[in-house]
């Protein structure tokens, strides 16, 4: 079993915030305006789903469908089942659009996994933090002392070739247009 600790910019670089206060010194909170008349605090629109009639719908009743309108099954959470790893290539890993990075806190067989990863092996698996309709692609890599899960979506990259097809772009020569406007006049 491994625990996933998300690695984010805040943990690496720190962060700063901007606080805004009203004329009475009270801290302001971010809000949005819905339908031009309803003030909604930040994040509140994510709390409710509405149907076409504007009625609230429970998220548990929603069903996922594909582009053809066919029902799709949920991808289970990574915590709900055994994770199946398969060896992957460097090219597969490098073709991924990265979404998140997790440092693994491994309880069992850490040395064996690190030995594999440190020998250059990369492992692929489907990552889904919570049961959802689409899992992310994920790869296990190592920095020598720790294992990391890199998640995102694989991209279809096309090999163009090794030939030098670069051509120098020569800017078109344009005549300078004289402008009678002088900003010093203002």
Of the chain, the percentage scoring pLDDT greater than 70 comes to 89
CA 144/CA 138 separation, integer angstroms: 19
- pTM of the full structure: 0.62
70-113 per-position pLDDT tens digit: 888 888 888 888 888 999 999 999 999 999 999 988 888 888 88
185, pLDDT greater than 60: no
Find the mean pLDDT for residues 149-165. Answer: 81
Q: Is 91 helix (H, G, I), strand (E, B) or coil?
A: helix
| DSSP calls for 15-63 | ------B-TTSPBP--EEEETTTEEEETTGGGG-EE-TTS-EE-GGG--
120-144 per-position pLDDT tens digit: 999 999 998 888 888 899 999 999 8
Would you state the pLDDT for residue 179? 60
Which tokens belong to 19? Answer: 């606080």
Distance set, CA 88 to CA 69, 78, 101, 120, 127 (Å): 33, 19, 18, 10, 15
Residues in a beta bridge with 56: 50
Q: Which residue has the higher pLDDT, 115 or 164?
A: 115
């Amino acid at each position: 079993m491994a625990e996933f600790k998300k690695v984010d910019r805040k943990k690496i670089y720190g962060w700063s915030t901007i606080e805004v206060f009203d004329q009475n010194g009270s801290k302001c909170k971010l809000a949005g305006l819905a339908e031009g008349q309803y003030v909604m605090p930040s994040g509140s629109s994510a709390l409710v789903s509405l149907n076409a009639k504007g009625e609230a719908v429970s998220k548990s009743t929603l069903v996922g469908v594909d582009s053809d309108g066919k029902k799709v099954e949920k991808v289970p959470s990574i915590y709900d089942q055994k994770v199946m790893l398969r060896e992957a290539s460097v090219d597969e890993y490098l073709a991924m659009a990265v979404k998140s990075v997790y440092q693994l806190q491994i309880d069992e067989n850490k040395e064996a996994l690190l030995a594999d990863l440190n020998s250059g092996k990369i492992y692929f698996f489907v990552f889904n933090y919570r049961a959802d309709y689409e899992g992310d692609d994920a790869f296990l890599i190592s920095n020598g002392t720790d294992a990391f899960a890199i998640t995102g979506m694989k991209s279809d990259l096309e090999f163009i070739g090794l030939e030098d097809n670069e051509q120098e772009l020569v800017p078109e020569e344009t005549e300078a247009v004289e402008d009678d406007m002088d900003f010093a006049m203002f």
